[in-house]
Structure 1
């Protein structure tokens, strides 16, 4: 009987939360959310505080995401967590700090965050109808790899390719000489997967330098992350080879000179025999 009663009470609470969200959501959503940044796989705390004078046994806190269905990330009521309508993506990963509730700290802890956790979170206090918005940004990075993509034999330049996978948000790609100067390169090629994660590749054509060291740097200022890889190209790769047409022309001229030389030698030998 008690379980049925608790179920009815929780159903009523959820209904009230849904109704209040519908009525008051438009005016509250204009609040600017606090931005919290984390890296893929981290545990993160989304801050939220209520009046410390409130009786913890009387508070009802809803953590939710307006863009999800169901939107409930975590609900706390009557000193218990209610997980009946919790979004399945957060099962076993969302919790409050129970030892801090008396201090008014109702911050949400999310464990092992993923890219799908990116979004706006709403901490709602049912008693005084106040809310606090938090924007979570989950980033990810990887080290780039540089490879030799080709040789421009006509100019003695080398084509380098830099690629990386698993970046979020989209990174900026910068090529550098060994001296630290930026090398001009075309726009990178980007591909996104189902989670919106970026795979990036960039090519650049470089000339011989005094040390032949080159750097591919990826940076993402929103999450304050930078990764880079260096490569050294031996001098032999920058040798300018003869143009094909020039080589053919030289060969033809050499062959003609050889033929005329042989012909002239035979002619001179025949004339010498006649004179004898």
Structure 2
């Protein structure tokens, strides 16, 4: 049984909270989670780690069945380790690392002497949407910082220029796998050029998901900037956000706490 509470100052009636820095990323790209401490001057006697916490949206619900069904689903994810990256004794310690991050994260050791413990996260996916905590300890100090990754609902793959039948075209290839993808092309002025494009299946999996190859014929100008955006139109395959639902408050308004089972 876990009790969580929020206290307000009866004199000033003020509450204080610190929100983590927010980093927005498109799926299937690489991102750097920044972390810097002035007391870190090298790897000697340094211990630091990156851990993740789920992002939760909290609100009350009337339906108790919906509340309990949610918590059974939420507990399933509790089996995963929170550890994303760990370093001590002058080396990486990844034995307890969450398997979702195996081979996908690294810290540039050449930047540690400048106080930077920033984490490179490769090939971001919707499951990576979370709050990440960077913690460090040395004989000269200790500190923590947090950053929240929000994964956008669309992929924006790199656009390349090519020639097809002696015609200049722009092309893009999806890194992600989609069941019902929608490809949108825009120019520098954000005009929708999708009617001048074609989409072909590049590679298909047994489960019906596939990668796509898209071609824009506008006519294309080589000095113009084009954006290719790919979204999943099937709501069942769009990114999953954790929503924590509490039962309707059963205590007087003066008691500002919730009971979690």
Name the TM-score, length of structure 1 as normaliser.
0.42
The structure number with the bigger radius of gyration is 1
> Larger RCO: Structure 1 or Structure 2 (Cα < 8 Å, ≥ 6 residues apart)?
2
Name the TM-score, length of structure 2 as normaliser.
0.44
